[in-house]
Structure 1
Amino acid sequence: MAVITEQTENLNDYVFVNNNNDAKTKEAIKSGISEVGEYFANKNIFITGGTGFLGTVLIESLLSSHPNIGCIYVLVRGKKRFDPNERIDRLLQKPLFANHSKKTLAKVVPVVGELSEPNFGFKEGLLNELLQKVNIIFHSAATIKFSSPLRTAIKTNLTGTWRTIEFAKKLKNLSSYIFVSTAFCNSNNRGLIMETVYKSKYDPHDMMKMAEDDMAWEDFDEIKCKEMIGNHPNTYTFTKNLAENLMMSDMAGFPAAIVRPSIVYGTWEHPCKGWVGAANSGHLGYLAGFIKGIFRTMCGVARSQIDIIPVDYVINSTLVMAWYAGTRKLDKPEVIHSTSGEVNPLSLGEFCDIMNESVKRHPADTYVWKPQGKLRNGWRYNLFFYIFHMLPAMLFHIPEKLFNIGMPQHTALEYMRVFNKGAKAFDYFLDKDFRYSLKNALKIMSVLNEVDKDRYTWDASLCNWTEFIDRCLIGVRRFYFKESAETTQWHKNYWAVFNILHYGGLGAMLLVFLWISGLVFGSTLGYGLAIALWSFLMWL
């Protein structure tokens, strides 16, 4: 049973229906058969976005679904100096796939192509082979940058979706088609967002034609872009909404579904606890900087909800929807949310408190300063960011380069610039209290037998957020920073030392202020100014 807040549409809408009375379901429970898993037996899969965070977990879950699953064709862009087979080999070498045999991993086959090109740019032989063999499509590829130019976002998020739809309609034996959208695609609306496709301002086909017309983009500046996307906060949500409208018009009558996840974090349980990938997807990047003491503030209001969802729950919902759409006659694509706010709400203030307590229990091997996050907004956030984020990052830049310390791949200063840009784009979603209906999602979840409810649930009421953040922080340590997953007494002692340094540093700051102000303004006025400045910075 899902736990419901008072803000839901109607309590009865969220009660699971007992559908375990039919003979087929009873037999499945008795024999321990997974109907969802059986659905994938001997079926060949085509995936876009397979090398990304979501795609990686999707591939692993598909391999785990049934021993007789067919080939999993992964669309890979052709890049110079990057062999597609090597990219897939590196993907399959991740700890996520450690329990799979070479024979099983050999089922993952890269196919080189471009998402926005007709037939993905495949050669005729490859195209014909795929049209004959592929049964199920998972389309999750997208440009997730909120700041992407509109033309780029249209070509990837809209035209790319159109190419997969064209491909799906040509398949000899299409079983199901799943489009991974986003809960934010309707963020231009307020109130409870339903599991339905909201009409777009423009026709998707007209927008795709516009993207191919060079003349249409002459003198197309930011002002014109904002006029076109209207109440949408960015080009990402705008084009995702267009892609959903395209799905509704062009996939009517086909076995298709749309899955809308919210803010995707690490795994809750499958295939392991706390898998976070490269920890650079969406909000996970904040956790990586947070546990190293680099990111020490978040922009937002404490009472606002942050709707997070484990990545394995998102993947569970996509697999179930493939089974659901493929075993029923649908007049139009089914739409579900993979979100948490209506069944297990988490405020931004609670989220920040949980992070601070979690990092005390599971500190990293090293950090540049004591990890501690605090919510701020407006000028207070901006001032803190530049004084306590950017300035230390600039001072730390030279030793970081010389001694190769700090964050992987980029310096703290580079991370700060990316973080600030991403945070400003993300602020919109953290102070609007978006609510997402789960009526259809829970209705579909209720038709699962007990075996599949246990394995393929995405009911976020089952998540303990404190435990979940613990798992994600340990996962960042283990999978991103390549540190031990075990928290030892040494970690606790190291934390205690930095705790002393933290408060000692604040005391030293006060003494420096008193000394400088005393020299400049004299003892009486100077000491008063020093204490006032120090108190202001402590409040900040």
Structure 2
Amino acid sequence: MAVITDHGSSTEELALTDQNEKNLKNIGTVPEFFAHKNIFITGGTGFLGTVLIAELLDTHPDIGTIYVLVRGKRKFDPNERISRLLEKTIFQKFNEKSLAKVVPVVGELSEVDFGFNEAVLNELIDKVNVIYHSAATIKFNSPLRTAIKTNLTGTMRTIELAKKLKNLSAYVYLSTAFCNSNNRGLIVEEVYKSQFDPYDMMKMAEDDAKWEDFTDEKCKEIIRDHPNTYTFTKNLSENLLMAEMSGFPTAIVRPSIIYGTWEHPLKGWVGNANSGHLGFLAGFVKGIFRTMSGRAASVLDIIPCDFVINSSIVMGWYAGTYPLKQPEVIHCTSGEVNPLTLREFGVIINESVKRHPPNNFVWKPSAKLRNGWRYNVFFYLFHVLPALAYTIPEKLFGIGMPQHTALEYMRVFHKGTKAFDYFLGKDFRYSLKNALRIMTLMHESDKKRYNFDASTCDWSEFIDRCLIGLRRFYFKESAETTDWHRMYWKVFNIIHYLGFLVLFLFIFGICAFLFGLTIGLALALAIWGFLVWL
């Protein structure tokens, strides 16, 4: 078992790595590396996995078979699930020959050999060259046992497969920058030693007796200074990779908060947009989410989805080309090279929705930063109560947001923002030393096509693309902002301010009835002024 230190590589090891890189300076391009290689992907039907498949098909026309792990659900045939996946807009550019390279393999992530039958397992062992492991439970507060089985044991299953492959060229693990959020200061591109042994945690997950009367207090005793089970198990998974994959061509990519795509395979692709901080943006566009929590000066470390995929593809090339003694770690983040504060984010999204309003919204989209009791009061008065009232026309007329009612979005939003409060209330800094170094090794053509340098992002333009992407891909509206959209915004803006007048008259009517005109007017002005300030 490899020993993980807290000090990273020695000076001699770094010097040897630099010399090896100089010796291999004239190596091939990224597309040349992936030519005719067969890929195995976990999490291929998720947001990241979908973009990864599209990018592999788009930039590697000579790629071999892309095997996608698909869960065997009773009501869904795996071939049908892949067919539905390939019907998405980002795959419309590909012909049938290219799409036929995407092949489902039915299995369960945490089972031994994924539960594959012998024929499927042998085919993968014989043919697969590159593994991309992106499957995970991304809910911050999943039950600890679920998080261990999915995030940790699932990683062990991919490691076991990697070691069986006859021709392993690269193994890439999609981790998260948050896996070390229990640390302070500059977080470097190294694996931080976990407080628990990953093997002990996997054994614990299989022992039913350990989970009898398992309380939140017991969970907190285990995860300790980690904010949730997600970051805890992702850190354990990285430790497992260090122990198991030293000497193998392995890379770990740590993205921060993933938003829509910057450019590839389509500008502003947002997937189903119902998870993570991107879900907040979807609710904001329709005027449902109108408040944020966190420190104004905190950096909101967002990153375009295609930057994450580009870095993952590059790391597959890098791990498979340069001799590595241990897994190479990079951050795919923006805070150090192109910081965006929460205050700036609020200004940008408010200005962006003015330029690109949707076809309709339930309230004028406008988000403001609030904290403490002010946030809670606003949330229940102007989020929950309107959502309760809006549920009636939603059910009667079928209007609203896809998949969920406004009230359901409120519940999801509240849980999601509470989970994100931890990250938005502190300053996390992520070193990009490895990432920037590896960028310099790429061919000029690869640097342009597989760009993941966040310093090149214009955040205002990026949010514009995401909002248009939400309209086009999620809400199924037109991607073009027309004069009608602008007129709709102006009319609704007038209605919005008329609403303040109606609110005052309503409050004044009640106060005047209860306390008389003079006292009622003063009291109504005070209450109205407080609500407007709120």
Same fold (TM over 0.5): yes
Deviation at 1:21, TM superposition (A): 9.9
- SS of the residue 1:336 aligns to: strand
Q: Is the 8 A contact 1:291 1:364 kept in 2?
A: yes
Could you tell me which of 143, 148, 151 is aligned with 1:154? Answer: 148
Contact 1:53 1:281 in 2 (8 A): no
When residues 190 and 24 of structure 1 are mapped into structure 2, their CA distance, relative to the original with a 3 A threshold, is closer
The Cα shift of 1:471 comes to 0.1
Give the Cα–Cα distance (whole angstroms) in 1 for the partners of residues 182 and 316 of structure 2.
28
Cα deviation code 1:118-143 (max 9, x no counterpart): 00000001101110000000000000
Unpaired runs of 5+ in structure 1? 1-16, 29-33
Q: Does 1:128 align with 2:122?
A: yes
Alignment match, 1:95? 89
Give the conservation status (yes or no) of the 8 Å contact 1:48–1:139: yes
Aligned residues: 516
Among residues 132, 136, 142, which one is paired with 1:138 in the alignment? Answer: 132
- Give the C-alpha shift of residue 65 in structure 1: 2.3
Within the candidate set 430, 447, 452, 1:458 is matched to 452
1:190-222 Cα distance to aligned partner (Å, 9 max, x none): 111000000000100010000000111111100
Residue 490 (1) aligns with residue 484 (2): yes
Superposition map of 1:327-338 within 5 A = 327-338=321-332
Q: 1:86 aligns with which of 80, 86, 110?
A: 80
Deviation at 1:22, TM superposition (A): 8.7
Deviations 1:385-426 (A, max 9, x none): 000000000011111100000111111001101111111111
**Partner SS, residue 283 of structure 1:** helix
Distance 1:463 1:363, change over 3 A: same
Distance 1:340 1:66 in 2: 27
Q: Does 2:474 correspond to 1:480?
A: yes
Matches within 5 A, 1:192-271: 192-271=186-265
Deviations 1:37-64 (A, max 9, x none): 1111010000000000000000011112
Q: How far, CA to CA, are the matches of 2:404 and 2:58 in structure 1?
A: 35
CA displacement at 1:68 relative to structure 2? 1.1
Residues 300-330 of structure 1 show CA distances to partners (whole Å, capped at 9, x for unaligned) of: 1211110000000000000000000001111
For 2:483 and 2:21, the matched residues in 1 are separated by 49
- Report if the CA contact (8 A) 1:40-1:65 is conserved: no
Shift, 1:272, TM fit: 1.4
Asked whether the 8 Å contact 1:20–1:449 carries over to 2, the reply is no
Q: Which residue is equivalent to 1:298? A: 292
**Structure 2: unaligned runs, 5 residues or longer:** 1-17
Cα 1:23–1:445 change in 2 (3 A) is closer
Give the letter for the 1:170 counterpart.
K
Match of 1:45 in 2: 39
Matches of 1:492 and 1:20, distance apart in 2: 54
Residue equivalent to 1:308: 302
Which amino acid letter does the alignment assign opposite residue 103 of structure 1?
Answer: K
1:237 counterpart SS class: helix
Q: Report Cα offsets for 1:512-531 as digits up to 9, x if no partner.
A: 11121111111221111110
- Any runs of at least 4 consecutive aligned residues in structure 1 with deviations exceeding 2 A, and if so which? 19-25
Aligned residue number for residue 353 of structure 2: 359
Distance 2:278 2:82 in 1: 23
Structure 1 pair 20–455 and aligned structure 2 pair: CA distance change class (3 A): farther
> What per-residue deviation string (whole Å, max 9, x for no partner) do you get for residues 369-393 of structure 1?
1100011111111110000000000
Shift, 1:98, TM fit:
1.4
Cα distance between partner residues in 2 of 1:456 and 1:396: 44
Q: Is the 8 A contact 1:180 1:258 kept in 2?
A: yes
Indicate how the Cα distance of structure 1 residues 345 and 24 shifts in structure 2: closer, same or farther if over 3 A, else same.
closer
TM-score normalised by length of structure 2: 0.95
Counterpart residue type for residue 59 of structure 1: I
Partner of residue 56, structure 2: 62
8 A Cα contact 1:478 1:485, kept in partner: yes
Q: Matches of 1:106 and 1:282 in 2, distance apart?
A: 31
1:71 and 2:65 are equivalent in the alignment: yes
The 5 Å alignment of 1:269-280 reads 269-280=263-274
Moved more, 426-435 or 42-51: 426-435
2-structure distance, mates of 1:58, 1:209: 32
Counterpart residue identity of residue 300, structure 1: G
Q: 2: distance between equivalents of 1:102 and 1:131?
A: 26
Do the aligned residues in 2 keep the contact of 1:138 with 1:177 (CA within 8 Å)? Answer: yes
Within-5 A mapping of 1:162-177: 162-177=156-171
